[in-house]
Amino acid sequence: MSEQSQEHTTQWLQSTYRTQRDPDGRLVIRGASPIGPILGCAVPVAFGALVTLAFRAAGASALLILFALVVIAVLAYNGSRIWIVGPGSIQASHALGRVRFRASHAHAANGVVLRRELWQKDLGSTDTVYVAVELPRRMKVLSVHNWVGRESRVASGGGGSLARSGPVVLTAPSPLRPWANETLMPAVSEAVSELATILQEQLNVSLVYECERVVGSKPRGR
């Protein structure tokens, strides 16, 4: 296979993230599409706006639309994230289609962190993959919410009902288990373990594990 074809070959991950090689041979990781969360926000707001207009509440309708535009902008921004990964370094940027915006400066990668946060009342957990850069800073690459007995979904960045608007991924085998073989890998969704392994291999750094019971409510969803 030629270098040019390798550069443009897209590999889909179980998290619905995508990977490609750039001309320098670095791995480019693209986040999940924001279309689902955006529709999850736009459709109810459009319905609500029509209802308020039917009752001649134009002011309330305008506020609903303004709120939706702000939320959609945030979701689109989060969904355009990309990470450019090379041996020992990572850059964060944004891209729309083939248009890539200016990337931040390259950060030295000190390690990959797989962290599990257990929700209160044993309702579920959130598994997050970070890249540790300049201490104490971490760069979040992926979060997956696990609802016990139901499903696992990629976190879209939205709250409330939007917490369940992200793509469904393979369910975490043990969403409430704090430690599994001292690695957490057997307990998380394969979407999480796959990306954590890719980052560790591409960055050539160590992989560490954390677990904590968080204070506060779980991500809400329908």
For the stretch 172-218, pLDDT in tens is 999 998 876 778 999 999 999 999 999 999 999 999 999 988 876 66
At 143 the pLDDT is 94
Q: Which domain holds residue 176?
A: 3-33+80-213
Same domain, 104 and 116: yes
Residues in the chain: 222
At 89 the pLDDT is 95
Determine, yes or no, domain membership for 178: yes
pLDDT at 99 over 50: yes
At 1 the pLDDT is 43
pLDDT at 3 over 60: no
At 2 the pLDDT is 42
Same domain, 71 and 164: no
Look at the chain and report how many structural domains it folds into: 2
Same domain, 188 and 155: yes
Determine, yes or no, domain membership for 159: yes
At 141 the pLDDT is 95
Same domain, 17 and 59: no
At 221 the pLDDT is 52
Closest CA to 76 of 15, 35, 44: 35
For the stretch 118-158, pLDDT in tens is 998 889 999 999 999 987 899 999 999 999 999 999 987 65
Same domain, 10 and 102: yes
For the stretch 32-72, pLDDT in tens is 877 766 666 666 667 676 667 666 666 667 777 777 777 77
Determine, yes or no, domain membership for 101: yes
Same domain, 84 and 192: yes
Q: How high is the mean pLDDT of the chain?
A: 82
CA dist 66 and 51 (Å) reads 16
Same domain, 86 and 67: no
Averaged pLDDT for residues 67-95? 83
At 19 the pLDDT is 95
pLDDT at 4 over 50: no
Same domain, 69 and 109: no
pLDDT at 24 over 70: yes
Same domain, 176 and 123: yes
Same domain, 132 and 143: yes
pLDDT at 101 over 50: yes
At 70 the pLDDT is 74
At 183 the pLDDT is 85
At 55 the pLDDT is 66
Determine, yes or no, domain membership for 126: yes
Answer with the one of 79, 112, 141 that is the final residue of a domain. Answer: 79
Same domain, 101 and 159: yes
Determine, yes or no, domain membership for 184: yes
Determine, yes or no, domain membership for 218: no
Determine, yes or no, domain membership for 130: yes
At 5 the pLDDT is 45
At 79 the pLDDT is 72
At 190 the pLDDT is 97
